[in-house]
Amino acid sequence: MADITINSHDVLGKLSIIKNYLAVVLEIEGASLSPKQRNYLNSAMVANESLITYIKQQSGNATSEDVAAAPTPAKLR
Amino acid sequence: MDQVKKQRILVVEDETFLRDLYIDILKEEGYEVDAAADGDEGFNKIHDGGYDLVLLDIVLPKRDGIQILRDIKTNPPVKKNGGVLMLTNLGQEAVVSEGVALGVRGHIIKSDYTPDQLIVEIKRVLASNNG
């Protein structure tokens, strides 16, 4: 099997885009979403944030604050 | 009736989706927004000047953000700009330190900020332009 080389900067760039779009919908349009829609987007946000923390850890850039601040569903609207 | 002049913000960011989102949220906040998609275009717009704030990505095609800052030092803008906020994706201390030495007002690790938090930081820098 071929090795896959991942550039952490590029991956974080794409994860940042996903985070920002999810945040816009949750923060700006959140009031007009149904509870189920909010939960789905919260789940996507939590998974994305976990990946950001993981990539930072793997690239040696995570701080203890990053790990502690990784969101749980209850922390998000 | 006198119209209040809108504050002008330049977004230098090569990621299309992020650039478009920043443009949208900044326009919704009432700012006049201009954008550049690579380092050469960014340098030319910063050199023309007249922006209250520049959001400057560091990793850019053609000319990186730090090189833009160096080039602006040796080739100053035609019209004065306000502050520069660096956009980066990793806590690259050496890059941030060099940016600070070149006069940037702060840096934002893009993966740490939501649009709401970005707006707060932008307002802080714009307020310090007047302080």
- The single-letter code of the amino acid at B64 is D
Instruction: Enter the tokens of residue A5.
Output: 């080389």
CATH architecture assigned to B8-125: 3-Layer(aba) Sandwich (3.40)
Distance CA B124, CA B110 (A): 17
Domain boundaries, chain B: 8-125
Query: Which residue of A9, A24, A61 is in closest CB contact with B115?
Result: A24
CA distance B122 to chain A (A): 16
Query: Which residue of B17, B90, B113 is in closest CB contact with A17?
Result: B17
Please check whether residue A39 touches B, CB under 8 A: no
Quote the distance between the C-alpha of residue A10 and its chain's center.
Answer: 15
For the stretch A27-75, pLDDT in tens is 888 889 999 999 999 999 999 999 999 888 887 766 666 656 555 444 4
Beta-carbon separation of B111 and A61 below 8 A: no
Beta-carbon separation of B114 and A21 below 8 A: no
For the stretch A6-40, pLDDT in tens is 688 888 889 999 999 999 999 888 889 999 999 99
Distance CA A67, CA B100 (A): 27
Q: Which residues contact A21 (CB under 8 A, 6 or more apart)?
A: B17, B21
In chain B, what residues touch A53 (CB-CB under 8 Å)? none
Beta-carbon separation of B17 and A59 below 8 A: no
Q: How far is CA B58 from CA A32, A41, A66, B110, in A?
A: 36, 30, 22, 11
**Residue A19 three-state SS:** helix
Does residue B49 come out as left (phi exceeding 0), alpha (psi in the -120 to 50 range) or beta?
left
For the stretch B92-127, pLDDT in tens is 678 888 999 999 999 998 888 999 899 999 999 999
Instruction: Enter the tokens of residue B96.
Output: 């941030």
Beta-carbon separation of A23 and B114 below 8 A: yes
The predicted complex's ipTM stands at 0.76
H or E, element range at B70:
helix B65-74
Would you say B109 and B89 are in contact if contact means Cβ atoms under 8 Å apart? yes
pLDDT given at position A31: 86
Would you say B57 and B104 are in contact if contact means Cβ atoms under 8 Å apart? no
Beta-carbon separation of A13 and B15 below 8 A: yes
Residues in chain B: 131
For the stretch B73-98, pLDDT in tens is 999 999 999 999 999 886 667 888 89
Instruction: Enter the tokens of residue B8.
Output: 């002008």
pLDDT for B26 beyond 90: yes
